A and B are shown apart, each in its own frame.
Chain A
């Protein structure tokens, strides 16, 4: 996976020169260059003498089984102990298919401790090796982490000489390891890239690091140095979860979240495409008071997560939160301001502790999400454990075709009809739906409305009696809904076949009311509709009711296909039934779409195609 680091490397530079202090992982680099060269791809290939005289074939990949390979410690230290000009800036280097990113941190020269026996360190660089294909946003996040670590180390160094101490431990361990090495392998440093030595040692390869785990300097360093253990845990956490919590020298908190990694793997075990931080930001920008949150982790897990300063507010929020409560409601219950709630929610979303949903209510329409992880057996087991006697897939199949929550709670039986299974209500309750939402099995569908009156070119100026035409138009322009009252318009619609468009248009121009009651259209004019659009609206039978017309004029500005019903209800402070009525009455000039909310799409990033 391209979000995973290949390696973490700590390099320092001081007056004695540069040195690679620690790298993790430090597995034995078994691929010896000589073995690589001598092994021909095809056993029947001719060995051309000219080829042998040439320089050895270049190494084109530095990744072996997900680990960094082909770099000796010395090479790494010269690469990353950068010139002073490059300090305190992003450093990025790509070698073949590996990308190194770091933030060389220049230490203040007035470092206090250990000036006599330990020359003061000039710079340190914590470098992450990534796959070259890692996207730029991933690289950027790793740079931020490297900078954070660098700055906190710099602070600890100037406070109490922490870094000098750790460095000394590591250097000593390196020296001891070299001293403890048996004489014959002492020469491991002199083994060049052509690896003659490595070949003679019988396939062991060039001795780079830790030929024997007990003797490996890095093993010793891990035992002795807290910093090394910290770096190891950084590496391991990044690979497993994408979350890093550290206390450097027990004093400075370093928290870091790799959003590309952490949002993945909630439902699919880490497959799928990474979530870009921009998507998270987009989602948070779209946050509204009518949204609600679903926690993705246990409340207990959240306890030690935030610094103590914020904890009381978070605790209050957690105490009151519910997937059915909107954020607005939460502000009232908790006494926090909406800005505070937004901030907490923003944090929780970024750190993948919570997801944003529309509050659960009976009208919510849910469908199976395109990326529903139906192939993950562990989730099915987890579901059955939580809701005994209920199969995940069986419950899920209630939502295909899409079902409203109210309907789901009422539905009499599970889908396989021939076998009546006893129905304890456990799986029919809200927790089951919350569970399904949390693991991204379900996605909510919203209704979007777009105002598009019949086109002008279809309108002609001939006169027609009004009433039948109106019936025609409502009969033939219906769409989508299986509404019973629509059925009765069906017959008149069939009477006028084919050229009904013309008939429809005629009404509009010739509408007698239009000219007599100019001020009836007043609200439409205010809503910014063009004369043609106004004419089209006035041709709708419901337009004769002034009240409806005013309401329609109020909301028509939102009918651009970008606001869903809930948003319009919130913006215009309308009830759902009111809005639905208006949409139904004016359906001749509207088109509705049913789809997911793009603002919440980040939670379903692995869906789509």
Chain B
């Protein structure tokens, strides 16, 4: 066995063997059919037979036992019927793997195949009748080969048919938030648009790697939660990855993964191709690395772009950041506004804190109120839910007309701050105001500090 195959390596392995085990009324558990022959020796089988034909309590559970370098997965079945010698027929169809292999994705297949055999047995006594069983080795052989080669298989026995398919089990995708930005991965080319459901088809044209979810929902005219569900589904299939909103005022930092870019030439080529402004003139690697090296905490993209003006002529800095975040060589530095508890408690004078320096227009008045309500102990508003993205804030200023949506927006902002875990992006999207405006409010407030991490 090669050294890279060790227990816990997380690799998938082929099915080594399929066997059918029955409980013989006299001889006890025994293998009645095995392909390839004698893969599981008599001694091994005797040692594990208690897990193959277990007690009644464990019937119809997926049992996987890993001992003696083998991994055996089965789904023990008993069929109660007075026609059998012990009033019941016990059997288990097991798949055998190497002990290092990851096998969780075979479990549904084992279960489905076992249930197919149950049907056959109930209909025509397929397993208990020795005459019928002569075909079994060739059927199992076929399943073994097809599943290993094509990951799917069609089993036909008499008039019955079943289809088996090994489906890779992925982790549940994390929840999609309003301020996330979906971005296509190269995998999306292997799917054609017609494969997706209608809502997804409506959403997909708006996924460009820069639009955030709430904006996509608005532009595609699809309900927000539906968009999230669609995108989460796309994430599950690896078609899109979620990144953060790109802003020129944002900060990014390189991660140790940058080493891969320094060393791996294929990766470098891929990077240059991705971020080139035009196909004809590719940026030089040195320029790209200069930009990546320049992206660090405390430096915004805008500052960097201005300083490195001459180096970024051939490259699209937005794509460069996008590539960095997608491949993990860059990490977005998020801003988290937090309320200093000691400051808050110390000064009831916050009400009289001078408003931000902008002249008091109805709009800034409104924002002053956001600011005032960011302090959890000052506001008596109940937490009404914020209902959806408000595009209205930028276009309609009704002073502080205390409409329902306005109130709820304020309360959202307040909760956002008091819970201390929402980034500026999230608050911006939720409250529906621009980053510059929000950060101006935050900076004008002595009790709020912004932590960048």
A-side residues, CB < 8 A to B, are 55, 58-60, 62, 70-72, 74-75, 78-79, 82-83, 85-86, 89-96, 135-137, 139-140, 192-193, 367-372, 374-375, 380, 384, 391, 393-394, 396-397, 400-402, 415-419, 445, 450, 452-455, 457-458, 476-477, 479-480, 493, 497-498, 500-501, 560-562, 591-598, 601, 608-609
Shortest beta-carbon distance, B90 to chain A, in Å? 12
Q: Is the CB of B66 within 8 A of A458?
A: no
Residue of A nearest to B242 (CB): A609
A375 to B338, CA, bound (A): 10
Does B378 make an interface contact (CB < 8 A)?
no
Known A-B contacts A78-B55, A455-B286; the reply to A401 vs B452 at CB < 8 A is: yes
Does B277 make an interface contact (CB < 8 A)?
no
Q: Is the CB of B78 within 8 A of A55?
A: yes
Q: Is the CB of A591 within 8 A of B293?
A: yes
Which 8 residue pairs spanning A and B have beta carbons closest together?
A: A136-B8, A401-B298, A58-B60, A598-B256, A94-B64, A368-B453, A92-B66, A85-B47
Residues of B within 8 A of A393 (CB): 338, 340-341, 449, 451
Residues of A within 8 A of B311 (CB): 476
A561 to B447, CA, bound (A): 41
Residue of B nearest to A100 (CB): B65
Q: Is the CB of A479 within 8 A of B308?
A: yes
Q: Is the CB of A452 within 8 A of B285?
A: yes
Residue with the greatest number of chain A CB neighbours at <10 A, chosen from B79, B294, B299, B346: B294
Does B381 make an interface contact (CB < 8 A)?
no
Residues of A within 8 A of B284 (CB): 454-455, 457-458, 501
Known A-B contacts A89-B67, A93-B65; the reply to A400 vs B450 at CB < 8 A is: yes
A531 to B331, CA, bound (A): 36
Known A-B contacts A391-B342, A452-B285; the reply to A479 vs B451 at CB < 8 A is: no
Known A-B contacts A71-B57, A193-B57, A608-B331; the reply to A396 vs B289 at CB < 8 A is: no
Shortest beta-carbon distance, B335 to chain A, in Å? 8
Q: Is the CB of B293 within 8 A of A479?
A: yes
Q: Is the CB of B340 within 8 A of A394?
A: yes
Residue of B79, B256, B285 touching A596 (CB-CB under 8 A): B256
Residues of B within 8 A of A493 (CB): 310
Residues of B within 8 A of A596 (CB): 255-256
Known A-B contacts A400-B450, A419-B446, A562-B259; the reply to A75 vs B57 at CB < 8 A is: yes
Residues of B within 8 A of A62 (CB): 61
Does B144 make an interface contact (CB < 8 A)?
no
Residues of B within 8 A of A497 (CB): 310
Q: Is the CB of B255 within 8 A of A595?
A: yes
- B298-318 interface bits toward A, Cβ cutoff 8 Å, 1 = contact, 0 = none: 110000000110110000000
Q: Is the CB of A561 within 8 A of B259?
A: yes
Q: Is the CB of B421 within 8 A of A375?
A: yes
Does B253 make an interface contact (CB < 8 A)?
yes
Does B290 make an interface contact (CB < 8 A)?
yes
Residues of B337-386 contacting chain A, CB below 8 A = 338, 340-343, 346-347
Sample (22) of A-B pairs whose CB atoms are under 8 Å apart? A59-B60, A78-B50, A83-B46, A86-B48, A86-B67, A90-B67, A95-B63, A136-B10, A372-B453, A374-B421, A393-B338, A396-B451, A400-B297, A402-B297, A479-B294, A480-B293, A498-B310, A591-B289, A591-B292, A593-B293, A595-B255, A597-B256
B-side residues, CB < 8 A to A, are 7-8, 10, 43-44, 46-48, 50-51, 54-68, 78-80, 253-256, 258-259, 262-263, 284-286, 289-290, 292-294, 296-299, 307-308, 310-311, 328, 331, 336, 338, 340-343, 346-347, 419-421, 446-447, 449-453
Residue with the greatest number of chain A CB neighbours at <10 A, chosen from B50, B58, B452: B58
Residue with the greatest number of chain B CB neighbours at <10 A, chosen from A59, A477, A609: A609
Q: Is the CB of A416 within 8 A of B340?
A: yes
A416 to B447, CA, bound (A): 7
Residue of A70, A500, A560 touching B310 (CB-CB under 8 A): A500
A401 to B253, CA, bound (A): 12
Known A-B contacts A418-B446, A419-B446, A593-B254; the reply to A397 vs B67 at CB < 8 A is: no
A79 to B311, CA, bound (A): 68
A452 to B449, CA, bound (A): 39
Q: Is the CB of B451 within 8 A of A400?
A: yes
Q: Is the CB of B449 within 8 A of A394?
A: yes
A608 to B339, CA, bound (A): 24
Q: Is the CB of A419 within 8 A of B259?
A: no
Shortest beta-carbon distance, B448 to chain A, in Å? 8
Q: Is the CB of B293 within 8 A of A416?
A: no
A297 to B288, CA, bound (A): 45
Shortest beta-carbon distance, A154 to chain B, in Å? 20
A592 to B291, CA, bound (A): 10
Known A-B contacts A370-B453, A415-B449; the reply to A59 vs B61 at CB < 8 A is: yes
A55 to B77, CA, bound (A): 10
Q: Is the CB of B68 within 8 A of A85?
A: yes
Residues of A within 8 A of B8 (CB): 135-137, 139-140
Q: Is the CB of B7 within 8 A of A136?
A: yes
Q: Is the CB of B67 within 8 A of A92?
A: yes
Residue of B nearest to A442 (CB): B453
Residue of B59, B340, B346, B453 touching A367 (CB-CB under 8 A): B453
A598 to B256, CA, bound (A): 6
Q: Is the CB of B297 within 8 A of A70?
A: no
Residues of B within 8 A of A457 (CB): 284
Q: Is the CB of A595 within 8 A of B258?
A: yes
Shortest beta-carbon distance, B376 to chain A, in Å? 13
Q: Is the CB of A374 within 8 A of B338?
A: yes
Q: Is the CB of B254 within 8 A of A594?
A: yes
Known A-B contacts A59-B61, A135-B8, A592-B293; the reply to A75 vs B55 at CB < 8 A is: yes
Residue with the greatest number of chain A CB neighbours at <10 A, chosen from B59, B254, B256, B292: B256
Residue of B nearest to A81 (CB): B50
Q: Apart from A384-B342, A416-B449, A596-B255, what 14 extra A-B contacts exist at CB < 8 Å?
A: A58-B60, A59-B60, A79-B51, A93-B64, A95-B62, A374-B338, A396-B451, A416-B447, A450-B293, A452-B285, A452-B289, A480-B294, A560-B262, A609-B328
